[in-house]
Amino acid sequence: MTRPTLSFLPEQRAELADIYEDTFASLGNYFTLADAPNDADTEAARSVASTLAGEVHSSDIDSDFYPCTLAGMDPTSDEFFAALGVARDARCKVGGFDNPKLEVRRAEPGEGEGSALALITRLNAHELEDVPNYLGPEGKQPIDAAIARLAELGPIVGVQLCTDDGASKVVLTLARRPSGVHVGVMALRMET
Report the 3 state secondary structure along 1-45.
CCCCEEEECHHHHHHHHHHCHHHHHHHCCCCEEEECCCCHHHHHH
Q: Which domain holds residue 54?
A: 5-190
Query: Residue 63 and residue 16: Cα distance in Å, rounded?
Result: 10
- CA 181, distance to chain mean position in Å, is 14
Query: Residue 175 and residue 59: Cα distance in Å, rounded?
Result: 23
Give me the CATH number covering residue 20: 3.40.1460.10
End-to-end CA separation in angstroms for the chain: 33
Q: Which residues contact 2 (CB under 8 A, 6 or more apart)?
A: 32, 72, 83
pLDDT digits (tens, 9 = 90+) for 108-130: 988 778 899 889 988 777 777 77
Q: Determine phi and psi for 150, rounding to 5 degrees.
A: -60, -45
State residue 125's pLDDT score.
Answer: 75
Q: Which residues contact 192 (CB under 8 A, 6 or more apart)?
A: 60, 61, 95, 167
State residue 138's pLDDT score.
Answer: 64
Res. 63 pLDDT band, cuts 50 70 90: confident
Query: Residue 129 and residue 64: Cα distance in Å, rounded?
Result: 23
Q: What is the mean pLDDT of the chain?
A: 90
Res. 136 pLDDT band, cuts 50 70 90: low
- Which pTM value belongs to this model? 0.93
**Higher model confidence: residue 7 or residue 109?**
7
State residue 122's pLDDT score.
Answer: 85
Q: Say whether pLDDT at 60 is over 70.
A: no
pLDDT digits (tens, 9 = 90+) for 71-100: 999 999 999 999 999 999 999 999 888 999
Q: Which residues contact 144 (CB under 8 A, 6 or more apart)?
A: none
Please give the tally of structural domains in the chain: 1
Under a CB-based contact definition with an 8 Å cutoff, are residues 95 and 60 in contact?
yes
State residue 113's pLDDT score.
Answer: 81
